[in-house]
Chain A
């Protein structure tokens, strides 16, 4: 299959799906939440360890889902490490805007970095929820909501 820049299943995504980063339970976490996508049964837990100063020291996740949701969670975990809670929430907003096509997908915000591989997903409305599940769950954890659903 040829890989176009707007293609959903880019190497980065396939690679993160195959070898997800930070794919484990974080027993020393300070925040955690469970995310669920009732449409497809995707299910994951996000764990965060936040310092008293509000810096995200560690992020991990565990669960079951499609390549898009798994890669998205994996890449999120990498992106958030070392960020402050406020920065994490701001990044969530940027990411959401990108995949909902609220900003021009051809010019993703620089902060998104590698996360801009998801810029073509708006063409697959039924898959947008897969990409955002981990992010909603992360935000839910920070907001002290234990269970998050994409519906």
Chain B
């Protein structure tokens, strides 16, 4: 692949040169938890704090104006990245979790009544379950669950059966962090709209998997985290259609989200500032803009083609491991390999992998209902990014076979 020079790409990620336990070079296969950051992102943060520290929207001095401009430039980068209609639709939060909570709190809690329904899928991350349960507690609404099949795919016919005039919100994960499945969200959005429901997309993983066009997809709300898109932790985005955001009360009160305050009456600020109370993560937002620039420069086509090669290579290789069962076998998936080994607990796999220098995640991955669905307590999960290689995968597979020997 001429347009994707993996050696050059790897040089952009200093963390790839870190050594772990026993001074082995780390093979980082935990990208679904958080990704490494390229130099461009790191140096943006560094130089912000070295040379451009200032609060935003609050000063007439040079530094503050510069910081405000960079912060708003990031908003424009996100807008373009998602192809949103307007910058008013891009709210900075601290991550996916906060974005979902914002919608649950300011949108759902106000609108839902006793007996109204929220549809979630069986493969949701706890971040897309618990906020809705909190809404249920307050409103008496009902949560219904869209089942998944043995491949770890949403059962669309069941979904359609569950949709009705009572359905007010459908909130579904774009790409499952524990199964790797890429869900047919465009179809699902159409169906939800036909039933008169609002559709929220948890794009925590999806944001790094494929280009998203919020207008073409016609999604109502979308959440993602910067740290899973090669950006910093502590910053994320809520996209919402302007019409919906306008109709919602603020999430938190404080500075920046107001136009004027007297003790008698406060006038809220316009979008998007209405939802950004207090000093935001200025350096983080600016660095997220850098991360987006990085992804765009690399190019979706190149990145996706390379990751698809990793996926098909990995799927072939991992199946040579005796007694290994993949959990999540949809043909529509990303480079996430969740698996169980006969008679060996995932936590033992994780620790022994770590000794071999390979960082994987083990556990329920904040998706306990998925574990229940497959009748297991936990899985081991290798999740690859575009800076991982087939060579690293070979080391991982060799380590797996070695672990099986230890437990023989």
Q: Which residues of A contact B (CB under 8 A)?
A: 1, 8-9, 14, 17-18, 39-43, 64-68, 124, 126-127, 130
Distance of A72 from chain B, by nearest CB (Å): 13
- Interface presence of B406 (CB below 8 A): yes
Docked-complex contact A40 and B348, CB < 8 angstroms: no
Report if A1-B362 is in contact (Cβ < 8 Å); known contacts: A41-B377, A66-B347, A127-B351: no
For B351, the chain A residues whose CB sits under 8 A away are 8, 124, 126-127
B346, B348, B377: the one within 8 Å of A9 (CB) = B348
A9, A17, A126, A130: the one within 8 Å of B352 (CB) = A9
Known: A40-B364, A127-B347. 6 other contacts (CB 8 A): A9-B352, A14-B407, A40-B346, A40-B362, A40-B377, A40-B378
Distance of B222 from chain A, by nearest CB (Å): 30
Report if A41-B363 is in contact (Cβ < 8 Å); known contacts: A64-B377, A67-B407: yes
Sampled A-B contacts (6; CB under 8 Å): A1-B402, A40-B363, A40-B377, A43-B377, A66-B347, A68-B347
Docked-complex contact B407 and A40, CB < 8 angstroms: no
- The CA of A66 and the CA of B364, in the complex, are separated in Å by 14
For A8, the chain B residues whose CB sits under 8 A away are 351
For B363, the chain A residues whose CB sits under 8 A away are 39-41
Docked-complex contact B345 and A67, CB < 8 angstroms: yes
- The CA of A9 and the CA of B344, in the complex, are separated in Å by 13
- Count chain B CB atoms within 10 A of each CB in A1, A41, A42, A127 and give the residue with the most: A41
Q: Which residue of B lies closest to A129 (CB)?
A: B347
Q: Which residue of A lies closest to B356 (CB)?
A: A1
- The CA of A17 and the CA of B346, in the complex, are separated in Å by 14
* Residues 345-363 of B contacting A (Cβ, < 8 Å): 345-348, 351-352, 362-363
Distance of B64 from chain A, by nearest CB (Å): 42
- Interface presence of B371 (CB below 8 A): yes
Q: Which residue of B lies closest to A43 (CB)?
A: B377
B344, B352, B364, B407: the one within 8 Å of A41 (CB) = B364
For B407, the chain A residues whose CB sits under 8 A away are 14, 17-18, 67
Q: Which residue of A lies closest to B349 (CB)?
A: A66
